[in-house]
Structures are given as structure tokens and as C-alpha cells.
Amino acid sequence: MGMNDMVSAERVHIGFFGVRNAGKSSVVNAVTGQELALVSDVKGTTTDPVKKAMELLPLGPVVVIDTPGIDDEGALGGLRVKKARQVLNYADAAVLVADAWKGLCAADRELVALFQAKRIPYAVAYNKADLLAEDSIPARTAEHEIYVSARTGYNIYELKELIARLVRQEENKKRIVADLLAPGDTAVLVVPIDSAAPKGRLILPQQQTIRDILEAGASAVVTREDGLRKTLASLKEKPRLVITDSQVFGPVSEDTPKDVWLTSFSILFARYKGDLNAAVRGAAQLGHLKDGDTVLIAEGCTHHRQCDDIGAVKMPAWIRGYAASARQRQAMGGSGAGQQAAENAASARQRQSADCSGAGRQAAENAAAVRQRQAMGSFGARPQATESVMSAPRLRFAFTSGMDFPENLSDYALIVHCGGCMLNEREMQYRMRQAADAGVPVTNYGIAIAQMHGILRRSLEPFPEALKLLD
């Protein structure tokens, strides 16, 4: 597989760690055969993790990461160390670069303990072997240790072979959607074109899903949400399933026949990279939020926030509306016609909020957003309806993006994460475990939206194990 055939999130991530002046950057350059990292005799030259997607033989497509010295000092140095330690959350393999002349120091041993605690396969490369007397270099070392010289190239090839052995494993058997399809099946993908969509291209989860469908020998049909009915009517046979962008879940559910499976991209990716069952359980917390609770909206990528951004704007509005409806149901006793009426009203408000077309509606929503920010002190939260806002729990929202996921999650009542298409599986699994260890429920965009629109059961029909959790 060529280096352009695999996205970074699917590549093996190899982190190079160590103390300052151990020669990490020199070893990185020697292993990659490129001047990837800046090299100098000054301590702390590497100030931030440096990443490079490349082809590394005999391994294949990888992301190589050069990290700051783990022993950096001072306020700024502490931030650098924090950045280096964050790489441990998504590194599939680690190389500890130590000074062959000095041997392992306390900071090196701490790193080894972290590798072992996080179950990261690792190698120890004793650099600067050229400074040792030839007869003092051990003829044999431990299986995961090797003496190298970045300056002379001594044992660099052998180091690459060692790294390959660390991460060589059976091919990932997980599929995004192919295991739900048979050859000849058709899958319809609903892709909104809005202000947040990248110009001239599909976003990564859409691309990856299409590729997985084709590899299954099935056909992928792509349409916008306003063309779904016409697209379905034009097919000679019903599709096996419809896959939608989460933010148009409501209208797409209405237009999809009940005997056709319906799910979303982020539900598929929750299964592919995260923990679908945990995310389904976490969605139940949406109906139990109370005054003063803080909800963390976490995204794995960084992008420019749009006025109708799903994470910063739509999700807080939907959550407030749903929490208000849940409070109304509880006040009405949670049963009978009153409950059904409240649920119907909630679904109508969610659909109305999800439909962002029309200049008049957009203007009204923008005005409402301003009023809500003034009242709640929270960016971008739009009220679903006047009575919902008045009865909604007073919630707070926090937002993170990229690799800035909080280490301390104790302040949050719920985490709502994006699909994680830009994160590798190890990072996504780390975040799920971190939430579980803190006792904080976590769900994702697609599952949360399906729950709030009353269509979670339907969207989980392709996944019987997760569906059982609703019973």
C-alpha cells in the first residue's frame, strides 16, 4: 500500500521519546532518511511534537512523531512535557532514545513504566554508540533493546526492523460497514451540503465509508437530504441501508422506509474505533441532566467554527431542548397521553431546529442565539422554543478539539464526542477508558442525536448487541 492510500488516522503511529540531548531527533532523521526534525546541541530544540506521515519500510504507511524532552524544566518546559506525554495516548509503538554513554536515567525509567502501563509496545535505542569503545558495546541485548548511532548509521536498519516487529500484527478485522452488506447490495449515503462542508470534496468518514462499501462488492449511492425521496424512488430495488450525516437524522428518518436499515456515519465510527455499547449507555444521561451540570462537547479535529456549527451551536441547542422535554415528562408523571404529547412536541422542536434552510428561519435563529448567549453566557446555544428554554435545566457547555482532551473529567456530567474520524483507534479507546475510569457517561454525536429525535432504536437495528441495551 502506498503512502497516499491510507489516511493518517489509520496509519501506525510511532512516537520517539527520551530526555533532552539523547539524540531523539537525530535518530528520527536517521530512521526516516529525511531531515524531519531540527537537530542541535542545544537542550530542548524540539519544542512541540513533530509529526510526519510517510512510508517506512519494512513497515508501510506510518506517522512518525518526534517529541520534546521528557525532562524539560520551567513553566514552558512543563507544557512541552505535557505535550510529549499526550502522544502516549495515541502512539501504537514507542521508541525510547537513551544516551548509550549515560545509560537509562530516572526519567527514562519513568517512560518505560508509562509504556507498560498503557500497553504500548516499545523499544529502547541506546544512541551515540559510536562514542563507546567497540568492545564495550554488548554483543547481545534484551529483545527490545538495541545500540545505534544516528551519526554513523550503525544498526539503524536493525532498529527499523525492530520497530516493524513491535507493531506487526494481524490485519484489522474491523470494518466500517462492509460486514453489513452482501455483494450486489446498495447503500444510500445522505450527505448535506452546508456552510461547514469542505468545498469540492467529501469529508473523511464519507470517503472511508464509500471505499468500504465498494470493497464489499456493494454499490454506494450518494444524495443530499432534500433528494433522498427521489433517489429512493429511482432505485429498482430497496437499498440494504441508508447512512446519514447525524445533523439531518430527523428528516432522513421520515423519508426512509421502515423496512430499510437506517444509521449514521458517527454510529458506524463509534463501532469502528470506539465503544458502541458504552456510547449507547451514555446517551441515556441526556434525559437526566440537571441544573448546574456541565456537558463536554469534544471533537477530534480542529476547524473554523461556523455560525451553525454542529458542535458549538446545534448540539447545545438540541441538548437543552431535550433536557427541557425530559423535565416536562418527569413533571407530568412520565406516563400516559401527557408523556406522548410531550415527546411528540419535543420531536417536532428537534426537527424544526435541525432544518436550517430559509433566510427567514436563519435570521430568527441568529437573533435567538444572541438572546440565549446573553441569558446563559454560552456561545452559540439556540433555544428550541420559548417554553423549552424557560423550563430547561441551566446547563453549562465546555468545548475541546484536536488533541486537547482534558485529563481531569470529574467536572463533567456527560461527554458528547464527535465520530472521531481524525483520531486513531488507540486515542479514541483511550478517551473512552478515561471517561469510564472517571465514572462519566460518554456518547457521540450520532447516537445522541438519534436519542434526542426518538429514533435511536431504529438506528441501532443493524447492531443487535447494542440494540439489546435499550431493553
pLDDT tens sequence across 197-218: 667 778 888 999 999 999 999 9
User: By the 8 A CB rule, do 15 and 88 touch?
Assistant: yes
Give me the torsion for CA of 403, 408, 412, 414, rounded to 10°. 50
CA 11 to chain CA centroid, Å, is 14
* CA 71 – CA 26 distance, rounded (Å): 18
The pLDDT tens digits for 309-348 are 888 889 999 999 999 888 887 777 654 444 444 444 444 4
Q: Above 90 in pLDDT, residue 133?
A: no
392: enclosing H helix or E strand: none
Buried-state track 136-165, b at ≥16 Cβ within 10 A, e below 16: ebeeeeeebbbbbbbeeebbbeebbebbbe
The pLDDT tens digits for 13-54 are 999 999 998 999 999 999 988 776 555 554 545 556 888 888
Task: Pick the range with the lowest mean pLDDT from 75-79, 161-165, 307-311.
Answer: 307-311
The pLDDT tens digits for 335-386 are 444 444 444 444 444 444 444 443 333 433 343 333 333 333 332 333 343 3
CA 49 to chain CA centroid, Å, is 19
Output the pLDDT for position 193: 83
Q: Select the more confidently predicted residue: 169 or 205.
A: 205
Owner of C-alpha cell 536493525:
158
Output the pLDDT for position 202: 85
**Reduced to 3 states, what is the DSSP secondary structure of residue 454?**
coil
DSSP for 169-237, written as a single string: -PPP---SSGGG--TT-EEEEE----TTSPTTS--HHHHHHHHHHHHTT-EEEEE-GGGHHHHHHH-SS
- All domains of the chain in start order, with CATH: 3-167 (3.40.50.300), 178-268 (3.40.50.11420), 275-468 (3.40.50.11410)
Contacts of 468 (CB under 8 A, 6+ apart): none
Average pLDDT, stretch 228-240? 97
Identity at 420, one-letter amino acid code: G
Average pLDDT, stretch 85-107? 91
Identity at 270, one-letter amino acid code: A
